[in-house]
Structure 1
Amino acid sequence: MPDSNEIDTGRILVVENDPDLAASIEMILGDSGEGHEVEICDDGSVAFEKASDPEQFFDLVLTGFRLSGMGGLELLSRLRESSPMRPVVLMAASSGADLAIEAIKLGAYDFLLKPFDSDILLDVARRAIRASRSMQSPVSLGKPDREKSNGRGEQPALNGSCPAMQTVYKDIGRLAPTDVTVLVMGETGSGKELVATALYQHSSRSDRPFVAVNCGAIPENLLESELFGHVRGAFTGATTDRIGRFQQADSGTLFLDEIGDIPLPVQVKLLRVLQEGIVQPLGSDREVEVDVRIVAATHQPLPDLITRGEFREDLYYRINSAQITLPPLRERGDDIKQLIRIFAKDSGSRFGVPAPAFPANILKRLKSHPWPGNVRELKNVISRIVLRGRGFDPTIELVESVLEQQSASAPDGDEIAGSDNGFASIISPSLRRAIEQAREDGKSDLHAQLVTELERQMISTALELSGGHLGKVCDWLGISRVTLRKKMSAFEMDTRKASA
């Protein structure tokens, strides 16, 4: 599977009998907005035929409730039977909880109450397409399988033949067929989400949803709503009902990444869900039953958090029914050489240049690097080497330059492992120098200058790393194509050289 943020644009079938709403959705999601390929249909029966046609693959079906030919609930039910790995989102004007619950029971990925905000639509579409790709991109264990590639040049794979990785493969094979809760341990960048995806794909729930949540990336005041959902009016800004990730993953698998970052009040509610299989959306007195297999992951030593009073001991034992531990890259021996060759080939394909060969002295230098960011950091370094070398075999000077650049742009040790201050630790020294200089010079426009330069460098770097792929840049930065093109125009960047 590609990195969770590396999601290309997708094909979306919109089934809606209101032409104005359909046109609005197409404008938001289509070429003039997010850049997805959108097809409009106003008849449920015709939509089912289109979605069932293997020649017209759709990543997501977004359907209304009242349709001619076949109603929205029937369309949802039949689509889930024929293509269980494709997300279906139901839109309806009714605010009744019964309809939303029925839709989720039938397997809807999400439920949108009309009228809905464009940001909500964009967020649901991104998450649904990401879930679709996760479910349908097979994770290879031990070696890449090009016949099962995800169609975007890279095969999601857990590579390596060292004894520790062989143990990981065996653990996946042993635990995947069961419903036992699994805790995946490993440093940041070591491949924990790939393990979770492999557990899902080899399980009896592989034809049901796979939903991933990065608990450390969601603000504390929003995490409870994200996991359990909320009803309209539950808090300021809750203008519509919203189902949580547990309901989205019902009958499937929920991956809770960085579970050690969950605050204690939410841990109490999470424990109840795991014990009783019941969620209660924020602001609601209605309890909803869910059947979800949990895979959790963390880079933190949870027993230490328990000792400090930051993690509940009863929750720890509930999620730690079985454990898989990923080794850090620095302890994987010659696996590094294998990964370098794989990443070089993938990067060459992505950038349209030959895959370079890495001489013995270069391999030795890379093997000696500590790799605090593990496989993710190695992949990024090799990508930069291939991009800057334009396909030629790298020199030791190029490698040292890339490693120096990587070290300068990334925090080390515990910071790279995901502490709250990791990003701040990178930029704080530079900000301090800039503010002190502005104070000496008597300048008053520093804020605008810093924000503008940060945006410029952020977009420029993302364009470089993506090979000019606008879709990847949008998803990495979490902005729409309209916003990206406006920024590029303002910064006098040539949009004609970028790819869709």
Structure 2
Amino acid sequence: MTLKNASILVIDDDTDVLTAVRLLLKTEVKDVVTEKNPQMLQTLLSARKFDVILLDMNFTSSINTGNEGLFWLRKIKELKSDAAVIMITAYGDVDLAVRSLKDGAADFVVKPWHNDRLIGTIKEVLKKREGSGSSERTTDNTTIIGNELLGESETMQAIFYKIEKLGPTDANILVLGENGTGKDLIAKAIHQHSLRADKPFVKVDVGALTDSLFESELFGHKKGAFTDAREDRAGRFESANGGTIFLDEIGNISLQQQAKLLSVLQNRTVTRLGSNTPVPVDVRLVCATNLPIAELANETRFRKDLIYRINTVEIIMPPLRKRGKDIMLLAKHFNNMYCRKYMKPQLPFDASAIDKLMTYPFPGNVRELQYTIERAVIMAEGEELTAADLLFSPIEFATAANDEPDEMKLSNIEKNTILKVIEKHNGNITRAARELGLTRTALYRRLSKYDI
């Protein structure tokens, strides 16, 4: 169906939104009907047929506050309407909007939207509806964003969808997750999907900057501002003007540094050291930290007003151990990459290698997996990668041992792995030792050590 032949229903309790959408669509579609009260849905859907319904996520009612959109989405489905439903949401409700896709919504748009993108979204939904014959969202099996960020798991698909929807906005993004999960790749993907994609992407590890370097690095300096300032120098904010600035390890900056950063974000200007002249900057801000949000909420450690400023929407990168089938997807990707790099023939994983990868907890996350596969490809002597080729770094275990619960400690992981492999081979020590990459004698020593 073409946009010109479509009938659109818009449900939103904001009169300004209804007016704006009606003015935008009245020359683009067959007809557009607007309604403030969602309780009129049954009457409207009984009286006529609509091709697309634009439905707000929040209404000023007492129905499950914050989830009204999901409530009315279910009502539309109960009324057997075959209209495709597009949810209208604010930045803070993106997680709910993603959930609405599982409940049958076709898509969602984030306020404030660009008119071209809203019309494009409606066109795409109409196209999918025509092809599928229903309003159910067709699943996109895309597993990669850009050239590096891969994932087939449900959690990663939700993140990809967030990137796609949030990218074109100017919302400030806070990326949370353990070290090695790929937070910097999320930041790059957001930039690539933004309207600033052809502008600079500037990354700064702010956690590594001393107080003396913080202002100079971020905001720039004038010649003579301090001993080594031999010439004028633009800071990272000026370098990122028009584009995106990515502040990594934001949770590690001091309260004094936070105050200076907050001033820049509020005023949208920077003042170089040694100057009194503010310079306007227009940047999209993406921040990342490995600290849990609860620690950032501690005002003795992090200013709450800065948290609100940098965290319009948060994206939480899951640890690799919780990404299921993504482990082998990434392992094969790194395997192919390093076989090409080191000019080796393809080295497929045998069953023992796959089992070892899938049972290992990866305290170092994707970064540890990448280095493990690189070492394996370099050192492999056979035509396949086996469990014996996969040597995990003791450095990651040493770091994780102080942070993980008892079941994640090295000794317990080793004991549990041995038990699983022995059980898998029905007590055959020779086969178990071969899969674990150990000699029979070494395996017997471990059995004695763990009293197995």
Matched, 1:366 2:353: no
1:36-92 C-alpha deviation (Å, 9 max, x unpaired): xxxxxxxxxxxxxxxxxxxxxxxxxxxxxxxxxxxxxxxxxxxxxxxxxxxxxxxxx
- 1:217 is displaced (CA, Å) by 2.8
- 1:288 is displaced (CA, Å) by 0.5
Aligned to 1:28: none
Is contact 2:201-2:246 (8 Å) kept? yes
Aligned to 2:440: none
Aligned to 1:227: 218
From the CA coordinates, give the structure whose radius of gyration is larger: 2
- 1:410 is displaced (CA, Å) by 6.9
Aligned to 2:209: 218
- 1:390 is displaced (CA, Å) by 4.9
Is contact 1:185-1:325 (8 Å) kept? yes
- 1:415 is displaced (CA, Å) by 8.1
C-alpha distance in 2 between matches for 1:332 and 1:353: 29
Secondary structure of 2:274's counterpart equals coil
Secondary structure of 2:246's counterpart equals strand
Matched, 1:407 2:398: no
Aligned to 1:106: none
Aligned to 1:190: 181
Aligned to 1:244: 235
Aligned to 1:395: 386
After superposition, the CA RMSD in angstroms is 2.2
- 1:389 is displaced (CA, Å) by 0.5
Aligned to 1:107: none
Matched, 1:254 2:245: yes
Aligned to 1:336: 327
Judged with a 3 Å threshold, the aligned counterparts in structure 2 of structure 1 residues 305 and 143 are, in CA distance, closer, same or farther, namely: closer
- Report matched runs for 1:315-354 at 5 Å: 315-354=306-345
Judged with a 3 Å threshold, the aligned counterparts in structure 2 of structure 1 residues 256 and 414 are, in CA distance, closer, same or farther, namely: farther
C-alpha distance in 1 between matches for 2:287 and 2:180: 15
C-alpha distance in 2 between matches for 1:414 and 1:226: 35
Secondary structure of 2:197's counterpart equals coil
Judged with a 3 Å threshold, the aligned counterparts in structure 2 of structure 1 residues 250 and 262 are, in CA distance, closer, same or farther, namely: same
Aligned equivalent of 1:386, options 359, 374, 377: 377
- Report matched runs for 1:140-155 at 5 Å: 142-143=142-143
C-alpha distance in 1 between matches for 2:289 and 2:402: 14
Matched, 1:170 2:157: no
Judged with a 3 Å threshold, the aligned counterparts in structure 2 of structure 1 residues 144 and 389 are, in CA distance, closer, same or farther, namely: farther
- 1:251 is displaced (CA, Å) by 0.9
Judged with a 3 Å threshold, the aligned counterparts in structure 2 of structure 1 residues 181 and 409 are, in CA distance, closer, same or farther, namely: closer
Is contact 1:185-1:297 (8 Å) kept? yes
1:397-452 C-alpha deviation (Å, 9 max, x unpaired): 232xx21xx114774228899xxxxxxxxxxxxxxxxxxxxxxxxxxxxxxxxxxx
Is contact 2:363-2:397 (8 Å) kept? no
C-alpha distance in 1 between matches for 2:215 and 2:229: 13
- 1:307 is displaced (CA, Å) by 1.8
Is contact 2:244-2:285 (8 Å) kept? yes
- 1:197 is displaced (CA, Å) by 0.8
C-alpha distance in 2 between matches for 1:331 and 1:249: 34
C-alpha distance in 1 between matches for 2:372 and 2:245: 31
Is contact 1:177-1:204 (8 Å) kept? yes
- Report matched runs for 1:35-114 at 5 Å: none
Judged with a 3 Å threshold, the aligned counterparts in structure 2 of structure 1 residues 159 and 415 are, in CA distance, closer, same or farther, namely: farther
- Unmatched 5+ residue regions in structure 2? 1-140, 405-452
Secondary structure of 1:282's counterpart equals coil
AA in 2 matched with 1:350: K
Runs of 4+ in 1 over 3 A off after TM superposition: 141-145, 408-411, 414-417
Count residues with an aligned counterpart: 264
C-alpha distance in 1 between matches for 2:225 and 2:251: 26
Aligned to 2:148: 157
Secondary structure of 2:288's counterpart equals strand
C-alpha distance in 1 between matches for 2:381 and 2:205: 35
- 1:223 is displaced (CA, Å) by 1.8
Is contact 2:143-2:157 (8 Å) kept? no
Judged with a 3 Å threshold, the aligned counterparts in structure 2 of structure 1 residues 308 and 179 are, in CA distance, closer, same or farther, namely: closer
AA in 1 matched with 2:345: P
- 1:157 is displaced (CA, Å) by 2.1
Secondary structure of 2:241's counterpart equals coil
TM-score, normalised relative to structure 1: 0.50
1:226-267 C-alpha deviation (Å, 9 max, x unpaired): 111111222222222111000000011101111111221121
Is contact 1:181-1:295 (8 Å) kept? yes
Aligned to 2:278: 287
Secondary structure of 1:356's counterpart equals coil
AA in 1 matched with 2:219: F
Matched, 1:309 2:313: no
Aligned to 1:112: none
AA in 1 matched with 2:232: D
- 1:357 is displaced (CA, Å) by 1.0
C-alpha distance in 1 between matches for 2:222 and 2:382: 54
- 1:282 is displaced (CA, Å) by 1.3
1:261-297 C-alpha deviation (Å, 9 max, x unpaired): 1221121111111111010111211110101110111
- 1:308 is displaced (CA, Å) by 5.9
Secondary structure of 1:271's counterpart equals helix
Judged with a 3 Å threshold, the aligned counterparts in structure 2 of structure 1 residues 416 and 234 are, in CA distance, closer, same or farther, namely: farther
Is contact 2:220-2:234 (8 Å) kept? yes
